């Protein structure tokens, strides 16, 4: 298989994260996490629009809200807020707060979050200052409109990638500090995950060589795409047997997340980071074509 990796124009984000394909606008939304910025890549225009969220320094994820074309749920520190943005303006405003977690953990922040296929919020936290491997103060949460926030999992170091598979009734989850991808049995009617099982291990012989799994997406055949923060690679993995089907290589090291998009949902969009003085082209957002795979669009959050 010959795939092609190409940069999107003017797509830099110091800590790019949370890619979400929106069918309605044919756009890829993502964040520059430590800058409090939202970005939108317009497929038709082949152009990236950027906005600063007024008064915010962090933006961990961006989830379009169902029925409200210009409103997004965004993780700012430990709050999930509704941000209003027309997709073009250089400044966006916080409209209201949906909920807040871990008020007692001032050194924590939101990290990755997604919407399950039924419109529920799933997202997790991590230690923002200090050693996340030592201080496992993060938690994974679930929230549904009109309800309270509930804890899905505690004892989390860096809450990261999430994906669901309705055909196999599975939920997949990454805690980066565990160096692995776990599968759960998932009840789509109740939103309950159970029976965790390790399906992909990224540990190497020496701890200093362990790969750090970050973001995650899934294709329509049920294969996972696992981004590695220190590996310059996305692994395409069969979660039923742990087999690596493909290694997608990038010209930069810190690969943070991925999402399928494009008119045919056959383009893999990939975010990266430029942390710890990584050289160019670190922080560039890429498109990968020629994978002969299709994925799912992002699901709107019911809020």
Listing DSSP states for 156-174 in one string gives ESBEEEEEEETTTTEEEEE
Return the CATH number of 4-289, one of 2.120.10.30, 3.40.605.10, 2.60.120.10, 1.10.4080.10. 2.120.10.30
* Cβ atoms of residues 133 and 157 within 8 Å: yes
Tens place of pLDDT for every residue, the chain, 303 residues? 699 999 999 999 999 999 999 999 999 999 999 999 999 999 999 999 999 999 999 999 999 999 999 999 999 999 999 999 999 999 999 999 999 999 999 899 999 999 999 999 999 999 988 777 777 999 999 999 999 999 999 999 999 999 999 999 999 999 999 999 999 999 999 999 999 999 999 998 888 889 999 999 999 999 999 999 999 999 999 999 999 999 999 999 999 999 999 999 999 999 999 999 999 999 999 999 999 999 999 999 999
Identify which of 179, 216, 283, 194 has the alpha carbon closest to the alpha carbon of residue 18.
216
CA distance 101 to 137: 12
Cβ-based neighbour number of residue 145 at 10 Å: 13
- Catalytic residue (one of 112, 116, 165, 214): 214
Cβ-based neighbour number of residue 8 at 10 Å: 20
Sequence ranges of the binding site for a divalent metal cation: 17, 160, 214
Which residue ranges make up each domain of the chain?
Answer: 4-289
CA distance 12 to 173: 27
Please state whether 45 falls in left (phi above 0), alpha (psi between -120 and 50) or beta: alpha
DSSP output for 104-150:
T-TTEEEEEEEE-TTS-EEEEEEESSS-TTT---EEEEEE-TTS--E
**Cα dihedral 261, 2, 181, 31 sign:** negative
DSSP conformational letter for 175: E
Sequence ranges of the binding site: 17, 109, 111, 160, 214
Cβ-based neighbour number of residue 265 at 10 Å: 18
pLDDT value, residue 211: 95
Look at the block and give the residue holding tokens 């871990």. 102
Strands 47-53 and 91-100: parallel
What number of residues does the chain have? 303
214 labelled catalytic: yes
DSSP conformational letter for 181: E
pLDDT value, residue 1: 66
* The two structure tokens encoding residue 110: 């939101």
Sequence ranges of the binding site for substrate: 109, 111
């Amino acid at each position: 298989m010959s795939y092609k990796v190409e940069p999107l124009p003017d797509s830099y984000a110091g800590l790019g994260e949370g890619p979400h394909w929106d069918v309605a606008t044919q756009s890829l939304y993502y964040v520059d996490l430590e800058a409090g910025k939202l970005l939108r890549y317009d497929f038709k225009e082949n152009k990236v629009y950027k906005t600063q969220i007024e008064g915010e320094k962090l933006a961990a994820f961006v989830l379009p809200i169902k029925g409200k074309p210009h409103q997004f749920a965004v993780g700012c520190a430990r709050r999930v807020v509704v941000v209003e943005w027309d997709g073009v303006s250089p400044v966006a405003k916080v409209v209201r707060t949906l909920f807040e977690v871990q008020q007692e953990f001032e050194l924590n922040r939101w990290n990755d979050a997604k919407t399950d296929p039924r419109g529920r919020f799933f997202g997790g936290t991590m230690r923002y200052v200090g050693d996340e491997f030592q201080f496992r103060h993060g938690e994974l949460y679930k929230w549904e409109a009109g309800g309270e926030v509930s804890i899905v999992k505690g004892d989390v170091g860096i809450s990261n990638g999430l994906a669901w598979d309705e055909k196999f009734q599975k939920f997949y989850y990454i805690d980066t500090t565990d160096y692995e991808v776990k599968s759960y049995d998932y009840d789509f009617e109740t939103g309950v995950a159970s029976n965790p099982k390790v399906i992909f291990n990224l540990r190497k012989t020496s701890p200093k060589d362990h790969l750090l799994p970050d973001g995650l997406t899934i294709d329509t055949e049920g294969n996972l795409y696992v981004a590695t923060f220190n590996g310059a690679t996305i692994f395409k993995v069969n979660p039923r047997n742990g087999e690596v089907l493909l290694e997608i290589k990038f010209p930069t090291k810190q690969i943070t997340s991925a999402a399928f998009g494009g008119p045919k949902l056959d383009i893999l969009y990939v975010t990266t980071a430029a942390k710890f003085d990584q050289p160019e082209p670190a922080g560039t957002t890429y498109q990968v074509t020629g994978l002969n795979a299709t994925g799912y669009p992002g699901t709107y959050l019911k809020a």
